[in-house]
């Protein structure tokens, strides 16, 4: 907790959030001279396209406030030009206390504070309402779209309430997605095996050069083992794969670490994706991280969804390599490509999800059509 407190130079609490459990915890934990009660979002004059400096500062200013909109949204991958799965996102805040060079929040965040939403009960009510209509469908809900699911969870403790809620939603799956190793706060909660704890992982060389302030690869794998040992299904996202001269041996090593420490039955799914970002993000990445990293120097090209990606032949080579490593370790590993174009899916034919018995439920289009009403608020990262 001390490490987390040290990340924030200033804490703002909206007056309407003062009664919330998270605000009470913050008031107990942070020195009173670093906390300010406000009537409105602080630093509002900076709202809009943030400069690199403002974006940097936004990671050190914590703001607790109620969220005024709808908490649930369809996954941004579900749009023309991309194959994706029936995934919903539940945003319980915005911005991240960690600092990856490729982070898409750099092209998305437009206010200068890291916000935690305090009206968590409203999110739970939305969840219950949605369950009335869609309780019999197989739905996956993730909390790690615009804020890491767990890095601030020791402060919010939202994971515990969500785990409890999902015990009553047996057909649904909740996914916590993180690059932290913060699992102590929920690990002993009773669960119904429908809460997946997942880690974005990369070789340690990439963690060192591109994923600042995150847990080391070893810490992430150790946290995953602890969750597995408590009966939680775990998942891994080898995403974004980043080209560097030793990429083949480093990703081989990463796959070996996973396959030697976990069995296919213990890992719900492994998704694989490659570096991609909006063209306008490149300027901010270079301003913030210079030209030394593998991301800011990457040779990338526009793809059909407008994002910059490695050329297709390289992406295919990278995916084939990782998929091949898993297949060689054991045929039962459930690996799929995430946020990829149909051409890339087709080039790795065995992994087209609709043809893969282990994955096709995740991509059930009937479920997607049923959820059309919920899809109107899709965000575009
Ligand atoms: S952990 Fe995720 S949200 Fe946080 S900086 Fe890295 S990529 Fe962005």
**How far apart, in whole angstroms, are the C-alpha atoms of residue 171 and residue 138?**
5
- Cis before 240? omega within 30: yes
Orientation of helix 247-261 relative to helix 312-329, angle to 10°: 30
Distance of CA 355 from the midpoint of ligand 1 (Å): 32
Whole-number Å distance between alpha carbons of 380 and 294: 25
Rounded distance from Cα 294 to ligand 1 centre (Å): 16
Q: How much distance in Å is there from the Cα of 224 to the middle of ligand 1?
A: 18
pTM, whole model, 2 decimals?
0.88
Closest atom of ligand 1 relative to the 96 alpha carbon = 4
Q: Which of 55, 94, 98 for a ligand 1 pocket mutation test, highest count of atoms within 8 Å of Cβ? A: 98
CATH of 70-91+120-371, one of 3.40.50.620, 2.40.30.10, 3.80.30.30, 3.30.70.20: 3.80.30.30
Rounded distance, CA 225 to CA 227, Å?
5
Output the CA 119–ligand 1 centroid distance in Å: 23
Q: Which atom of ligand 1 is nearest to the CA of 211?
A: 6
Task: Report which of 182, 160, 167 is spatially closest to residue 21, judged by C-alpha positions.
Answer: 160
Q: What is the rounded distance in angstroms from the CA atom of residue 201 to the CA atom of residue 240?
A: 9
Is the dihedral angle over the CA atoms 165, 168, 169, 173 positive or is it negative? positive
Which atom, in ligand 1's list, is nearest to the CA of 97? 4
Helical segments of 135-193, H only: 153-156, 158-166
pLDDT by position in tens, the chain (length 381):
888 889 999 999 999 999 999 999 999 999 999 999 999 999 988 888 899 999 999 999 999 999 998 887 765 554 444 444 567 889 899 999 999 999 999 998 889 999 999 999 999 999 999 898 888 888 889 998 899 999 999 999 999 999 999 999 999 999 999 999 999 999 999 999 999 999 999 999 999 999 999 999 999 999 999 999 999 999 999 999 999 999 999 999 999 999 999 999 999 999 999 999 999 999 999 999 999 899 999 999 999 889 999 999 999 999 999 999 999 999 999 998 876 665 665 555 444 444 454 444 444 433 333 333 333 332 222
DSSP-derived letter for residue 22 is H
Calculate the alpha carbon distances from 379 to 6, 75, 78 in Å.
Answer: 32, 8, 10
The alpha-helical segments, DSSP class H, found in 73-187 are 120-134, 153-156, 158-166
- Determine the distance separating the centroid of ligand 1 and the alpha carbon of 96, expressed in angstroms: 6
Q: Any residues with Cβ below 6 Å from ligand 1, and which? A: 96, 98-100, 103, 105, 148, 179, 214
């Amino acid at each position: 907790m001390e490490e987390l407190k040290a990340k924030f130079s200033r804490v703002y609490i909206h007056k309407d959030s003062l009664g919330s459990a998270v605000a009470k915890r913050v008031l107990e934990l942070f020195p009173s001279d670093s906390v300010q009660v406000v009537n409105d979002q602080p630093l509002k004059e900076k709202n809009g396209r943030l400069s690199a400096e403002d974006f940097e500062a936004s990671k050190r200013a914590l703001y607790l406030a109620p969220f005024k909109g709808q908490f649930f949204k369809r996954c941004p991958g579900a749009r023309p030009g991309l194959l994706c799965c029936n995934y919903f996102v539940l945003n319980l805040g915005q911005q991240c206390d960690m600092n990856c060079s490729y982070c898409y929040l750099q092209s998305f965040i437009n206010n200068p504070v890291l916000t935690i939403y305090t009206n968590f009960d409203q999110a739970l009510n939305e969840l219950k309402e949605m369950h009335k209509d869609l309780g019999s469908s197989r739905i996956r809900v993730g909390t790690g779209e615009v804020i890491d699911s767990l890095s601030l969870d020791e402060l919010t403790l939202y994971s515990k309430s969500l785990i409890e809620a999902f015990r009553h939603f047996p057909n649904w799956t909740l996914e916590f997605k993180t690059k932290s190793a913060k699992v102590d706060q929920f690990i002993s909660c009773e669960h119904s095996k429908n809460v997946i704890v997942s880690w974005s992982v990369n070789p340690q060389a990439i963690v060192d050069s591109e994923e600042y302030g995150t847990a080391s690869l070893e810490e992430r794998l150790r946290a995953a083992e602890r969750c597995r040992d408590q009966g939680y299904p775990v998942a891994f996202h080898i995403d974004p794969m980043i080209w560097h001269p030793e990429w083949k041996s480093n990703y081989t090593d990463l796959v070996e670490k996973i396959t030697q420490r976990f069995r296919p039955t213990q890992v719900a799914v492994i998704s694989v994706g490659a570096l991609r970002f909006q063209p306008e993000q490149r300027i901010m990445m270079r301003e913030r991280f210079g030209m030394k990293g593998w991301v800011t120097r990457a040779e990338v090209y526009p793809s059909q969804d407008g994002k910059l990606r490695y050329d297709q032949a390289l992406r295919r080579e990278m995916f084939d390599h990782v998929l091949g490593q898993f297949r060689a370790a054991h045929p039962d590993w459930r690996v799929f490509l995430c946020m990829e174009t149909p051409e890339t899916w087709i080039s790795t034919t065995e992994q087209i999800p609709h043809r893969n018995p282990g994955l096709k439920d995740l991509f059930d289009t009937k479920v997607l059509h049923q959820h059309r009403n919920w899809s109107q608020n899709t965000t575009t990262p």
